[in-house]
Chain A
Amino acid sequence: MRLSRFDLYAPATLEEVFYLLQAKGPDARIMAGGTDLLLKIRHGALKPKSVIGLKKIQGLKTISFDQSSGLTIGATALLAEVARHPDIVKHYPTIAQAARGTANPQIRNMGTVIGNLCNASPAADNAPTLLAMDAKIRIRGPEGERVLPLDQFFKGPGQTALIPYEIVTAVHVPAPSPNTGTAYLSLSARGKMDCTAVGVAAMVTMTGKTCAGVRLFVGACGPVPLRAPKAEDILRGQELTEEVVEKAGTQASAESRPISDMRASGDYRTEMVAVLTRRVLREAHQRALAC
């Protein structure tokens, strides 16, 4: 299919990015790995006149970790780099797992975690875990920087809280709390390499036998990755018995709003939210107890 003509810019600084964004107007598109953007252009869904690549910008690729301040993943850090980064593998194994489970090796060597978030697909593999871990997104614009909780970032399929001329520079994940475990599971029609039809992520913090804190997010079952607050309420302050976990699963299922499409029926998705919720809760619970 016809690839529409566009000019590609590769600025070396953020200042140049903002200059270009303002100079080229609202139709200019930001590109990190390009694995989503170029596909949309190739299929004629987008016809930008200007594409601004971020990969030349120094420092934007950084992945940094500090015991107290936590983890920062820069905008151009590749999925493959996140998947194998020793600090992430050690302290945020579920983030590494989600990155490793995204698409295929070729895509992971081009695409970025931030790009996956900014594409704002409800099925984005990296969103539920980061949401469950209470990540914050760092946004820069010509006027300066703002920080937004990730759960306020997604506005709809392909829609984010970014306003014109803004870009995401990093995602920040707090330092892992003690006695906390995370888990993410996804299902798809093909098996090992596929886009997700249902995904659920959980973070569980235990105090003794009691669940002191929990965050539960469901992917691909609504216009954005959805939180399941009522399911969380069932868990918080409780011992995570099979019965409680079962109830939370059923509740999470009731809170999801899946559609039927060619990847799965709405009914199947609803049913699987319960199954996966139970499984991620058990897994996160075990990990919380183990640390």
Chain B
Amino acid sequence: MNQFSIVGKDVPRNDARAKATGSAIYTDDVKLPGMLYGQILRSPLPHARILHIDTSQVASLPGVRCVMTGEDTPKVKYGNWRLFPETQDEYPLAIDKVRFIGDEVAAVAAVDPDIAQEALSLIKVEYEELPGVFDVDAAIKEGAPVIHDYCPSNISVNRKIKYGDIDKAFAESDYVREDTFHVHAVSHAYLEPCAAIAQCDLDGRITLWTSTQVPYIIQCLLASTLQMRENDIRIIKPFVGGGFGGKMELRTWEFCAAFMAKKTGRPVKFTLTREEEFLTGRRRHPMKIHSKVGFKKDGTLTAKDLKIYLDGGAYNAMGPTATFLCGNFGAMLYRYPSYRFHGQHVYTNKPPASAMRGFGAPQSIFATESQMSLAAEELGLDPIDIRLKNAQVTGDTIPDVATISSCGFIEALNKVAEMSDWREKRKTLPKGRGIGIGCYSFISGGVFNWFNTQYPFSAAEVRAFDDGTAHLLTMAADIGQGCDTVLKQILAEAFGLKMEDIRITSADTAITPQADLGAWGSRLTLMNGNAVLDAANKIKAQLFGAVSARFNLNVIHEIECKDGKVYPKGRPDRSLSFGEAVAMAQKINRGEPLVARGYYTPRNKGLVTPSFSFGAQVAEVEVDQETGVVQVQKFWTAHDCGTAINPMAVEGQLEGSIQMGLGYALSEQFVMEGGKTLNTNFLDYKMPSSMDVPPSEVVHIETYEPEGPMGAKEAGEGLAIPTAPAIADAVGHATGYRCKDLPITPEKILRAKRES
């Protein structure tokens, strides 16, 4: 294992003090002179044609400065899949129809938020109500109401994967099982609601501060929807209070803030309320998953046939990617000699589902893991043994899709079994108590260029100074996951400097290098980390010149940066301080500052990702036999994220993942009636509180990912996957009830008990 100085250490997060002391500036904290406050008028109907919008009353309300509808806009559709323009199905404000309760219809800006709120009530919209569809079965039925005219089937995306002779494999299987799973929508429930504030300068250029995961994507899509040039738009991401996939698209308020700032000449701010977030916000895709798997008698997998309908809600949002990925994740974790997938993304009259932590994997892998445990029981095998038998290993390939370049899955399975005393407990726990397992694999960023960017996927600029400091500039968006800290650690390690020697400027599209695709798909540590290393290596090449000149080095020498010094490898006695080396390099170049840019774009890495993380989690539960209440007693997790650049930050990811997974498994759901979300606050949206989170133990499995910076791969989303299947398996072990429709509520447990 490589010896690192700062990488692999528990380094306190860059943002920790600012957040703990309240000095962190979030978008809503940004206040500009003369600023106006925006509000959005939303559709009260799930599906309707807009016949007429009358805004004439609004102007009479003192304090209103601007009102706009879709008619005022350039009417350009947008969506993140620019490579396939037909998937771009959304306007900033509704043009012809509204397609869900909360669909944005008009916006106003006024001198205070109360006036803006009141102004909304003066806008009169005449609708012709249309029948709505609220689940995939209704939406794909013959003669179902058509939600988008361009898509008469309501199926907007079809994705297929196939390899191996699947029919033959099933025919030759000793045991085949088929199950249908229903998984539900849950909210990102980031603590900072969406907010944006736009300013337009006298040259007509726009600056937008926004709570986003994807500054570059916002810049590009805002430019196209406003019909402006990309570089006349500057996106600045202040501190962000979480995103989890819910802030990775251009959204109405970003467009309207910019549009109205341009129109009024005054800054315009929008901040959503929690009620708006719950009523209309993005959510995790509900899916209907039909999965057929085949085994040999000894538990060896032979085939898998997976059909998934994604309930996409009213627009595609990030649905195409989720459709793509849930099929890829269906083939992960285990070696399927033959595999067939058909994913269909279906429109319904509900708030659009989109990316959410795990991006298709929590749903798909819930089915995978449930079936592995069910099959183990039927075949008389231990659930961990059947997994060990089929586990993917380093070097495995998924035909035409990906190669696994590092994999600690088997080690993780063995470790959680040992930590949790699995083999004993699975045999001896009394009725009402149970132990269960869930596993995961996840991507470290995506390969496929659906955004159709002309830039590298990640970029970094590094400036080195003769005072022994360095400045790192990157468009990577720290949204609370901690990439500012991790990227600084990588640079500090590469230069042999300390954390406090590095200044970072991130996520400002006007001053950080083009481009970065954003914080999603657990891509930043690997992709932006590689870009930082590339830039650092270019600087080091220049420092080599300086050190070489000073010590008259042989050309075969390599240089090393460590403890603030630069020296030929193995000869620390011949050293310059980092600052001296920079000064010399600068003199050689007649004062030219020492600056380098680094880039990373995955190449020859298949269709999905450059590298996969793996892990396993065991949950122990106690189920109250009379009330059906599930109490998780403890979690044990063993995971492989390659080199953990910052183990403390990785553990933070695990804690957050467990909290999210617990809610997904047991308590969180949108209560909906006719397309309307009824639980629009944290009292009725049952996100687990800190008091509900059980103790947990974790072990990092040591692997070294050759494609990752200093051996690192993802740790952000994969961990959100195993918790629900682990709890479901444990509840099954405790009660005999196998949940196939999340969440696992007390009522379902009792109903199953009555029926058994």
Q: A193-B692, A262-B671, A262-B678 are in contact. Are A2 and B117 (CB under 8 A)?
A: yes
Residue of A nearest to B624 (CB): A275
Stretch at the interface among B158-166, B173-181, B578-586, B742-750: B742-750
CB of B627 within 8 A of CB of A272, answer yes
| Residue among A190, A263, A271, A272 with the highest chain B CB neighbour number at 10 A | A190
Q: Is the interface of A mostly helix, strand, loop or mixed?
A: loop
Q: A262-B679, A265-B747, A268-B747 are in contact. Are A191 and B688 (CB under 8 A)?
A: yes
- A contact residues around B667 at 8 Å (CB): 189-191
CB of B686 within 8 A of CB of A189, answer yes
A272 to B273, CA, bound (A): 35
- A contact residues around B113 at 8 Å (CB): 2
Q: A2-B117, A262-B671, A268-B750 are in contact. Are A189 and B688 (CB under 8 A)?
A: no
Chain B, range 265-281, C-beta contacts under 8 Å to A: 273, 275
- A contact residues around B629 at 8 Å (CB): 187, 191
Beta-carbon contacts of A164-184 to B below 8 Å, as 1s and 0s?
Answer: 000000000000000000000
Judged by a CB distance under 8 angstroms, whether A90 is at the interface is no
Beta-carbon contacts of A243-264 to B below 8 Å, as 1s and 0s?
Answer: 0000000000000000000111
| Residue among A191, A193, A264, A268 with the highest chain B CB neighbour number at 10 A | A191
Q: Please give the distance in Å from A188's CB to the nearest CB on chain B.
A: 8
A263 to B275, CA, bound (A): 18
CB of A192 within 8 A of CB of B691, answer yes
Residue of A nearest to B663 (CB): A190
A195 to B689, CA, bound (A): 13
CB of B627 within 8 A of CB of A187, answer yes
Q: How large is the interface on B (under 10, 10 to 19, 20 to 34, 35 or more residues)?
A: 20 to 34
CB contacts between A and B, total, < 8 Å: 51
A269 to B222, CA, bound (A): 50
Q: Please give the distance in Å from B273's CB to the nearest CB on chain A.
A: 7
A272 to B747, CA, bound (A): 10
Judged by a CB distance under 8 angstroms, whether A1 is at the interface is yes
CB of A190 within 8 A of CB of B750, answer no
Partner of B689 from the list A2, A192, A264 (CB cut-off 8 Å) is A192
Residue of A nearest to B670 (CB): A262
- B contact residues around A271 at 8 Å (CB): 750
Q: Please give the distance in Å from B623's CB to the nearest CB on chain A.
A: 13
Beta-carbon contacts of B397-433 to A below 8 Å, as 1s and 0s?
Answer: 0000000000000000000000000000000000000
Chain B, range 145-167, C-beta contacts under 8 Å to A: none
CB of B678 within 8 A of CB of A1, answer no
CB of A190 within 8 A of CB of B688, answer yes
- B contact residues around A191 at 8 Å (CB): 629, 631, 667, 688-689, 691-692
Q: Please give the distance in Å from A282's CB to the nearest CB on chain B.
A: 12
Q: Please give the distance in Å from B9's CB to the nearest CB on chain A.
A: 35
Partner of B684 from the list A104, A262, A265, A268 (CB cut-off 8 Å) is A262
Residue of B nearest to A267 (CB): B747
A190 to B668, CA, bound (A): 8
Residue of B nearest to A268 (CB): B747
Q: Please give the distance in Å from A119's CB to the nearest CB on chain B.
A: 14
Q: Please give the distance in Å from B625's CB to the nearest CB on chain A.
A: 10
Q: Please give the distance in Å from B445's CB to the nearest CB on chain A.
A: 34
Judged by a CB distance under 8 angstroms, whether A16 is at the interface is no
Q: Please give the distance in Å from B755's CB to the nearest CB on chain A.
A: 14
Q: Please give the distance in Å from B717's CB to the nearest CB on chain A.
A: 24
Judged by a CB distance under 8 angstroms, whether A145 is at the interface is no
Q: Please give the distance in Å from A272's CB to the nearest CB on chain B.
A: 6
Q: Please give the distance in Å from B193's CB to the nearest CB on chain A.
A: 13
Q: Please give the distance in Å from B664's CB to the nearest CB on chain A.
A: 13
- A contact residues around B117 at 8 Å (CB): 1-2
A9 to B689, CA, bound (A): 36
| Residue among B118, B631, B679, B684 with the highest chain A CB neighbour number at 10 A | B684
Closest 7 CB pairs of A and B: A192-B691, A262-B671, A191-B692, A190-B686, A275-B626, A193-B689, A2-B114
Binding site for B on A (CB under 8 A): 1-2, 104, 187, 189-195, 262-265, 267-268, 271-272, 275
Extra inter-chain contacts (12) besides given A262-B678, A263-B684, A275-B627, CB under 8 Å:
A2-B113, A2-B118, A187-B746, A190-B686, A190-B688, A190-B689, A191-B692, A192-B691, A195-B683, A262-B684, A268-B750, A271-B750
